[in-house]
Structure 1
Amino acid sequence: MAPEMTTLKGQPLNRTAVDTLMRRRFFYTPTADIYGGVAGFYDFGPPGCALQANIVETWRKHFVLEEDMLEVDSPMITPFPVLKTSGHVERFCDFVAKDSENGEILRADHVVEEVLEARLKGDKEARGQKVEAAAEDGAADKKKKKKVKGKVEAIKLDDAVVQEYTEILAKIDNYDGPGLSELFEKYDIRNPNTGNKFKMPVYEQNLMFDVTIGGARLPAYLRPETAQGQFLNFSKLLEFNQQKMPFASAQIGKSGRNEIAPRSGLLRVREFLMAEIEHYVDPESGKKHTRFHEVEDVKINLLDGKVQLEGKTETTAITIGEGVRTGVIDNETVGYFMARIQLFMLRLGLDPAKIRFREHMENEMAHYARYCVDCELLTSYGWIECVGCADRSAYDLSCHTKATGVPLVVRETRQEPLTITEYVAETTKAKFGPRFKQDGKAVQSAIDQLTEEVKEKLSLELKDNGKITIAVPGVGDGKVELTSDLIKIEQQTRTEHTREFIPNVIEPSFGIGRIFYSLCEQVFWTREGAEERAVLSFPPAIAPTKVLLVPLSSNPDFKPMIAELTKKLRKHHLSSRVDDSGASIGKRYSRNDELGTPFGITVDFQSLKDNTITLRDRDSTDQVRATQDEILEALVKLVHGTETWSQVYERLPKFEGQELE
């Protein structure tokens, strides 16, 4: 079970309070809300759009600009053959379970998690109840049952059962279909919404939205990821990069996944914004990274795959360099991006104690991945995957090369020519075609797949016997005889002046919506006073609005200076809002603390006399007073991160007052 979620100030987090705030202040709202909405779809309002745009802008600066990546933009609608070739048509699925009575379909692993976690919570409730009862009447050994909040029933479990449940939850992502079905049967997993049993076994359901194109209604899908558009353009990207390797491409765009019964707000939706990187490397380079030395001291919290298989969830604090040297992290390029992901999360204002990297177990690995680690963020829903960092090897480029006949390869001149001696199998085309007719392609394919060792052995056999036999599935009895007039296998020597290879790909894939929501929870806290007031402590660079302009009153004399300040802030690309309502200054500030606005400027009658204004810090509520130019200079530095509030508060005159109800 995930640790209890707390606010930025260490207070117990109230998820309902966060969600209510986000909807009330129109960060987001259910799509088509006035029609009742549709699960898994959300609209973003003005502060939500601004926050999302700032996260994306920070991502683009942190990765695309810093790493000289080549950005592309491809359509959401992807032709059927592309996703058939990539394996998504057959294998982009989740295991689901169907309610035996009402037919409700739920994601199988999520049901197991929900039911077992509810039982563990009930056990905790029961153990707490037992302690109290023992103090009252000495009934230390008496089992007690009590209904508690929600669907949790307080009932004590055996210690061995608690251990079993904990171990299952630690490795829940590693269960395949039969394994999940066994859990349903063994632990009597029922629909938490109805109490009904599920039909067994669980089965797979594809997550892609299928669509058709044009009058011919050509089959297609909404892309489930932005990666394929990058792979299909690999040759063009390589040419644009002047044939230089390694390099990376990037794409930011919407994707769609037809999630099974989506819940958890923005954390599991059916249309979402992704930001993906495809870093192409030479497989013979050992996946080294030239800038690895810059990040090897970055420390992360790592949850090893082996630890999960032992039924545990303890993380280890480790540097990226140590992880790669010991083999806990697969290679330098994966390690480099893990470090860069960690630094990006910190730049957004996320708590390092609420960031972890979890290595995938073998059974949960995506069909295209040979290694994968997720960056997970702690939320009130538990640890949530927000970034996947996968080694896709040469899977995608190889598949598309084979399907289209277009070589998605790198060709480079060798510094020294390479002499290669190998056995070559050549068929006599004039006789081979007439002999095998429609089976010729299958036979030729079997010949092409012969290994060097097998070809050497067959060469001797052909020389001694004048014929050989090879396996050809689907032709005759599965074996085909080839005589010396149909094939020759001889050792040949050739010199290569160029090298041709299909790159391997390291892919960091970011779910922007999940990062958005996780950030909102982690920066949320309440200011205590006469009444609790919510605050969102976004870093200045990320905040939807940077500055609140507050005239002391509705006196028209303040309007020219407010207009002047707005113009100056706009010139410095600092977003601002004016609140000239009749509410007190304190309430106006409080309303914008809810929006995460980091700074507030107050214009009062003193401002009209000497051109000075006050600048308020959202988190501390401390204020300074100085000239317009001095305050604007401070704001630019604060938002760009070249100066901190404590530095500003130290050098500019302090101001007391105006924080009134």
Structure 2
Amino acid sequence: MATNTTKTGQPFDRDVLDSLLRRTGFYMPSFEIYGGEKGLFDYGPPLTALQSNFVDLWRKHFVLKEKMLEVDTTIITPEPVFVTSGHVAKFADFMSKDPKTGEIFRTDHLIKQVLAARLKADQDARGKTIEVEKPDEPQKKKKIKDVKIEKLDDAVAQEYNETLAKLDNYDGHGFNQLINKFQIKGPTSGADLDPPKPFNLMFQTYIGPSADKPNGYLRPETAQGQFLNFQKLLEFNKQKMPFASASIGKSFRNEISPRQGLLRVREFLVAEIEHYVDPEAGKKHDRFQLLKDTKLTLLNRHTQLAGSEKTEVMTVGDAVENKVIDNETLGYFIVRIQDFLLKLGIDHSKLRFRQHMANEMAHYAADCWDAELYGSYGWIECVGCADRSAYDLTVHMNKTGAPLVVRENLPEPRKFQEYQIDLNKKKLGPKFRKDAKAVESAVESLSQDLREKLSLELKNSGKITVDIPSVGNGKTELDKDLISIEQREVTQHVREYTPNVIEPSFGIGRILYHLLEHSFWTRQSAESSDEPSARNVLSIPPLIAPIKVLIVPLSNHADFKPFLRQLTSTLDDLDVANSIDDSSASIGKRYSRNDELGTPFGVTVDFQTVKDKTITLRERDSTKQVRASQEDICHAIEALVRGRETWEQVSKRLPEFTSQEVD
């Protein structure tokens, strides 16, 4: 089970890390001099560089390795796109309002925090009033009103735990039942809450000067832009299947209560992949066998519905074979996600994959797993990996008539029986006018099973009803004068099908925040040091650290300057980010400041350098040093930051340098 401790086993203190990140310029509240705005933050130089390095590594790990087609689509999206995709109707969270104070809370978060507080109180002191974190405001601890807490019965405590385990499976009605059952009140007023209401998370906007009402949205994901370009991407890929598109860009969600720092924000960077597969091929993946023995920590939906959060470690091969994970391609990308997160520096013991439950499942998904990371806020979804089936391409094709399909020439003709539809277009046009094309596309996309059923219905009653969400009330009636459905023998030379889609989606900001939590620890200073007794360290891997090397001259002596210029020039030519700290502070203090920034290596130029042109290389986490020529040290640094060598390997082949850091 994951614990909230640092890599050295020390208790993790979020306030200390947050103070460090703000003090060193990792991030700051947006519009701070105007009072700020909740859920909006600006990244300073260290976090901007860290994010850029993340994106570069993501591109290499996925786009280049998997030969994906990267696109950059627009943020502003016309309203009909999201009406068709279902986002306007279904992209929502439930909110609860305290009528006495006017405070608004995200319902599932409120229930989770209150029940967790009661369980904690049961374990600790218990009493009439509990000192807990105010829901959605973890930085402000205050006494809040709650129902009187006596010692919980074992059955009640178990019910709380079971409810928390399957909380994501409730809808608005279910949330309201929980609020009434557990007597959850307004956190500060103790008043009864209004019933939960859905709140659509998309930002509306106006497109063009003539719009008299909002007619567009800021995208909440990059996926729809990729789907709408499917046909062009398929042509670019020379009609070859399977293939994947990828996109990295800003997305926007109007969060109900964005008060969890960098984890719950209204503007954020996402990286998404849409991998298109042939459904008849069983969603196989040609490289799955190479990864089938990789172990994953899984929390499946059946365990959650039983009220437990007990995970199970199994190989992805076993998970797919036993249908815990639906198919090979989904399993393949879950492994690739895990490999990427571990390469970033995420703590493996604080990573699990949780399967979505039925009510929680997105409206488009056939199966979905979240990569959840553990930190001071508990388990947080950071990457989603969903089987979106053929939903998106199908609905956009039905709405627009665009041929978002694959046409495959068959090596030999195929003969088979199929139900075919004939439409009387002379009557269809006048009856449905502007919706005629949508009706035609929807009818032609009906599955064979449904066509068989509707043919019997048409024969018996003379009419059928077809679900077409974009037309009228969603139910479209067609009589035998407009449509006929008959079974015929077909000879097929070209197979036409709509691909299914496997989608990994990365919330970059959430991953980076957890990387910072997982990297943070405190080093105890020597007793004789004039430094504080504890020094904070961010053990960010060299591969993505904002600055790779700190160059530290022993002093501002003029003899050092040529070596400093040569060092920075060499490292610049190697594309290794570096900085010089020639301040008057001691070497120990200068290194300590950069340990807080996550700088993995330090180079010291001293009087010995002037004599024999050797320099020292210091490693951040161990503080151990080696000494060699400038050429050897620069080559070692390049190998370290590219991941070709480890510090253990470098320290074995280069001479050790023993010296006490001067404080």
* TM-score, structure 1 as length reference: 0.91
The alpha-carbon distance between structure 1 residues 487 and 302, as it changes in their structure 2 partners (threshold 3 A), is: closer
In structure 2, the residue matched to 1:216 is 210
CA deviation after TM superposition for structure 1 residue 207, in Å = 0.3
Q: Identity over the aligned pairs, expressed in percent?
A: 57
Which protein is bigger by CA-based radius of gyration?
A: 1
Correspondent of 1:469 among 462, 465, 474: 462
In structure 2, the residue matched to 1:173 is 168
CA deviation after TM superposition for structure 1 residue 9, in Å = 1.1
Is contact 1:422-1:452 (8 Å) kept?
no
1:270 & 1:434 partners in 2: Cα distance?
44
2:503 & 2:442 partners in 1: Cα distance?
33
CA deviation after TM superposition for structure 1 residue 148, in Å = 4.5
Correspondent of 2:653 among 651, 654, 657: 651
1:611 & 1:110 partners in 2: Cα distance?
60
In structure 2, the residue matched to 1:382 is 378
Correspondent of 1:195 among 172, 183, 190: 190
1:348-397: per-residue Cα shift (whole Å, max 9, x none)? 01111110000000000111111100000011000110000000001110
Is contact 2:399-2:441 (8 Å) kept?
no
1:215 & 1:434 partners in 2: Cα distance?
33
1:447 & 1:256 partners in 2: Cα distance?
34
Is contact 1:443-1:472 (8 Å) kept?
no
The alpha-carbon distance between structure 1 residues 417 and 168, as it changes in their structure 2 partners (threshold 3 A), is: same
- 1:540-579 equivalence runs, <5 A: 540-579=542-581
Secondary structure at 1:372's aligned position in 2?
Answer: strand
1:114 equivalent to 2:113? Answer: yes
The alpha-carbon distance between structure 1 residues 455 and 152, as it changes in their structure 2 partners (threshold 3 A), is: closer
2:630 & 2:84 partners in 1: Cα distance?
61
Structure 1 segments unaligned to the other structure (5+ residues): 128-143, 463-467
1:89-146: per-residue Cα shift (whole Å, max 9, x none)? 111000111112122221100000111111111111127xxxxxxxxxxxxxxxx667
2:371 & 2:536 partners in 1: Cα distance?
28
- 1:305-344 equivalence runs, <5 A: 305-344=301-340
The alpha-carbon distance between structure 1 residues 505 and 578, as it changes in their structure 2 partners (threshold 3 A), is: same
1:68-98: per-residue Cα shift (whole Å, max 9, x none)? 0000001111111111111111110001111
1:604-641: per-residue Cα shift (whole Å, max 9, x none)? 01101110000001000001111101101111111111
In structure 2, the residue matched to 1:600 is 602
In structure 1, the residue matched to 2:41 is 42
- 1:199-598 equivalence runs, <5 A: 199=194, 201-217=195-211, 219-422=215-418, 424=420, 426=422, 451=450, 453-454=452-453, 469-472=462-465, 482=480, 491-529=487-525, 530=527, 531-598=533-600
1:479 & 1:603 partners in 2: Cα distance?
82
Between stretches 443-452 and 236-245, larger displacement belongs to: 443-452
1:74 & 1:434 partners in 2: Cα distance?
34
CA deviation after TM superposition for structure 1 residue 557, in Å = 2.0
Secondary structure at 1:615's aligned position in 2?
Answer: strand
The alpha-carbon distance between structure 1 residues 368 and 660, as it changes in their structure 2 partners (threshold 3 A), is: same
Paired residue type of 1:631: I
Is contact 2:398-2:439 (8 Å) kept?
no
1:124 & 1:339 partners in 2: Cα distance?
37
Paired residue type of 2:542: P
1:222-276: per-residue Cα shift (whole Å, max 9, x none)? 1000001100100000000000000000000000000001011111000000000
Is contact 1:337-1:508 (8 Å) kept?
yes
The alpha-carbon distance between structure 1 residues 426 and 116, as it changes in their structure 2 partners (threshold 3 A), is: closer
Secondary structure at 2:462's aligned position in 1?
Answer: strand
Between stretches 218-227 and 151-160, larger displacement belongs to: 151-160
Secondary structure at 2:185's aligned position in 1?
Answer: coil
Paired residue type of 2:199: Q
Is contact 1:246-1:281 (8 Å) kept?
yes
Is contact 2:100-2:189 (8 Å) kept?
no
Paired residue type of 1:67: E
The alpha-carbon distance between structure 1 residues 13 and 653, as it changes in their structure 2 partners (threshold 3 A), is: same
In structure 2, the residue matched to 1:99 is 98
The alpha-carbon distance between structure 1 residues 552 and 164, as it changes in their structure 2 partners (threshold 3 A), is: same
Is contact 1:624-1:649 (8 Å) kept?
yes
The alpha-carbon distance between structure 1 residues 103 and 170, as it changes in their structure 2 partners (threshold 3 A), is: same
CA deviation after TM superposition for structure 1 residue 479, in Å = 8.8
Is contact 2:537-2:595 (8 Å) kept?
yes
Secondary structure at 1:508's aligned position in 2?
Answer: strand
1:20 & 1:111 partners in 2: Cα distance?
26
2:508 & 2:340 partners in 1: Cα distance?
12
Is contact 1:126-1:156 (8 Å) kept?
no
CA deviation after TM superposition for structure 1 residue 422, in Å = 3.9
In structure 2, the residue matched to 1:67 is 66
In structure 2, the residue matched to 1:84 is 83
CA deviation after TM superposition for structure 1 residue 563, in Å = 1.2
2:68 & 2:484 partners in 1: Cα distance?
48
Correspondent of 1:612 among 602, 611, 614: 614
Is contact 1:111-1:191 (8 Å) kept?
no
The alpha-carbon distance between structure 1 residues 565 and 480, as it changes in their structure 2 partners (threshold 3 A), is: closer
The alpha-carbon distance between structure 1 residues 525 and 408, as it changes in their structure 2 partners (threshold 3 A), is: same
Paired residue type of 2:164: L
Secondary structure at 2:502's aligned position in 1?
Answer: strand
Is contact 1:105-1:261 (8 Å) kept?
yes
Is contact 1:51-1:543 (8 Å) kept?
yes
1:325 & 1:488 partners in 2: Cα distance?
42
Structure 2 segments unaligned to the other structure (5+ residues): 133-140, 467-471, 528-532
CA deviation after TM superposition for structure 1 residue 472, in Å = 4.8
* TM-score, structure 2 as length reference: 0.90
Paired residue type of 1:290: D
Secondary structure at 2:125's aligned position in 1?
Answer: helix
The alpha-carbon distance between structure 1 residues 469 and 611, as it changes in their structure 2 partners (threshold 3 A), is: same
1:156 equivalent to 2:158? Answer: no
The alpha-carbon distance between structure 1 residues 419 and 644, as it changes in their structure 2 partners (threshold 3 A), is: same
Is contact 2:246-2:274 (8 Å) kept?
yes
| Count of residues in Structure 1 that have an aligned counterpart in Structure 2 | 633
The alpha-carbon distance between structure 1 residues 193 and 568, as it changes in their structure 2 partners (threshold 3 A), is: farther
Paired residue type of 1:209: F
Is contact 2:616-2:627 (8 Å) kept?
yes
The alpha-carbon distance between structure 1 residues 221 and 488, as it changes in their structure 2 partners (threshold 3 A), is: closer
The alpha-carbon distance between structure 1 residues 657 and 236, as it changes in their structure 2 partners (threshold 3 A), is: same
2:507 & 2:434 partners in 1: Cα distance?
48
2:124 & 2:486 partners in 1: Cα distance?
77
